[in-house]
Amino acid sequence: MAPPAGRLRWHHCAAAEVKNEPILEFKHGSPERAALQKALEDLKGKTEEIPCVVGGEEVWTKDVRYQLSPFHHSHKVAKYCYAGEELLNRAINAAMSARREWDLKPVEDRAQIFFKAADLLSGPRRAEILAKTMIGQGKTVIQAEIDAAAELIDFFRFNAKYALQLQHEQPISVPISTNTMVYRGLEGFIAAVSPFNFTAIGGNLAGAPALMGNVVLWKPSDTAILSNYAVYKVLQEAGLPPNIIQFVPADGPVFGDMITGSEHLSGINFTGSMPTFRHLWKQISEKLERYRTFPRLAGECGGKNFHFVHKSADIESAVNGAIRSAFEYSGQKCSACSRLYAPDSLWPQIKARLLEEHGKIKVGNPVDDFSTFMSAVIDEKASTSRLLQGRVSSDCAAC
């Protein structure tokens, strides 16, 4: 059924006007700084209770966990629970019960939800999502702003814009034949497995498939529960119906076994470690006869980012770029510079300036001091990993 003409025109107009979300500066005296400081104050010492959400119902299991603030370990920012096998099976059934109706809903209606969610994040929910990303994931104000606000808003708006445009991409027809492409969701559920380091990735891994007519099981990272649940609630507030996205924190191996063991698995949308994605891929390959369709796997596993400095480069620009890339958010992202190639002619100057700027890096609590440049790594496991990487780098430099 085609949507009313007036609504269709509104969507075309909205899509045509989509622009990148402006990045706010949070200067002293600015309204956004005041709003964020209030949101941060409201969260101090608070533990938010976050259930699994299955079939539109909030469910608590006996496997209760806590998310700790990475720079204030005594602060339990969230109390949540793991979904076990029984609850994950319920989530799959609930998702499948809603799949057909959601897939048949006009894309204009689905896009409307994501446009509204972006508006909520841009306006009344911005301070909340930033504060929860800062306290829960240890991000500085600027790192939270470019992630949990600007990038996530852009994901929702541009995804919706392109989903609307895609409907008009049709194969060529020549007399006497007419060729038509129908865009529809997959005939099963999508498993969205999201990481801790970008709130935006969580919203996008679960949101993009839902926008395109799919039902989703969203397993957020244990160390990003607080912010990811806030994104989930924003989608609900924007009109996302129950059962379209099931919010199911879970033990990784249990979740992997359940989704790959279901005949209804249609795809995995994943960001995380290479060993985990390889394991999921192997599990699926060993069970191909079980599935109703061939599951689609989309995985982003980071990598080694490098900077290549040309002899004509501006030294200050190269140094500032390298420092920011390598040390912002403690290097916990795929865009973090871990290699720098410089010509012999520039290296003495670059090295001197790198050491000078490195010495100015301010490490601390990003909530109490907005001038903090680098905060704590996400957890003890990450801390051990960083120490080992530092030893390897020092040994290599000595060689």
pLDDT in tens, 55-76: 999 999 999 999 999 999 999 9
3-state secondary structure of 21: coil
The answer to whether 303 and 336 are in contact (CB under 8 A) is no
Phi/psi region, residue 397 (left: phi>0; alpha: psi -120 to 50; beta: rest), is alpha
3-state secondary structure of 273: coil
The answer to whether 331 and 373 are in contact (CB under 8 A) is no
DSSP element (H, E) containing 219: strand 215-219
By C-alpha distance, which of 266, 125, 150, 170 is closest to 209? 266
186: its two tokens: 């997959």
| Phi and psi at residue 66, to the nearest 5° | -135, 140
* Residue 254 half-sphere exposure toward CB, CA atoms < 13 A: 14
- Rounded mean pLDDT, 172-197: 94
Contacts of 105-109 with CB under 8 Å at 24 or more apart are 105/213, 106/1, 106/2, 106/3, 107/163, 107/164, 107/167, 107/183, 107/212, 107/213, 108/3, 108/7, 108/8, 108/11, 108/164, 109/3
- 263 has a pLDDT exceeding 70: yes
- 150 has a pLDDT exceeding 80: yes
Residues in the chain: 399
Of 221-225, 264-268, 273-277, give the lowest mean pLDDT range.
273-277
- 2 has a pLDDT exceeding 80: no
- CA-CA distance, 319 to 26, in Å (whole number)? 25
| CB count in 10 Å sphere of residue 62 | 7
Among this protein's residues, is 399 annotated catalytic? no
| CB count in 10 Å sphere of residue 301 | 15
Contacts of 292 (CB under 8 A, 6+ apart): 187, 188, 263, 264
- Mean residue pLDDT across the chain: 91
The percentage of the chain sitting over the pLDDT mark of 70, rounded to a whole number, equals 92
Cis peptide before 244 (omega within 30 of 0): no
- CA-CA distance, 33 to 337, in Å (whole number)? 30
pLDDT at 384: 64
pLDDT digits (tens, 9 = 90+) for 82-121: 999 999 999 999 999 999 999 999 999 999 999 999 999 9
The percentage of the chain sitting over the pLDDT mark of 90, rounded to a whole number, equals 84
Phi/psi region, residue 246 (left: phi>0; alpha: psi -120 to 50; beta: rest), is beta
pLDDT digits (tens, 9 = 90+) for 218-234: 999 999 999 999 999 99
Cα dihedral angle (128, 130, 135, 140), rounded to 10 degrees? -160
- CA-CA distance, 386 to 363, in Å (whole number)? 15
pLDDT digits (tens, 9 = 90+) for 364-397: 999 999 999 999 888 888 776 554 454 433 332 2
pLDDT at 302: 77
Among this protein's residues, is 328 annotated catalytic? no
- Tokens 């192997």 correspond to 282
- Tokens 């490490």 correspond to 363
Cα dihedral angle (97, 100, 106, 108), rounded to 10 degrees? 50
pLDDT at 391: 40
pLDDT at 382: 76
Kindly report the pTM of this predicted structure: 0.90
Name the active-site residue from 334, 357, 380, 396: 334
- Rounded mean pLDDT, 181-188: 94
pLDDT at 334: 85
Angle between helices 199-211 and 107-122 in degrees, nearest 10 = 160
- CA-CA distance, 215 to 209, in Å (whole number)? 7
Name the active-site residue from 187, 300, 301, 357: 300
Go through the domains of the chain in sequence order and give each one's CATH number.
Answer: 27-168+183-300 (3.40.605.10), 305-398 (3.40.309.10)
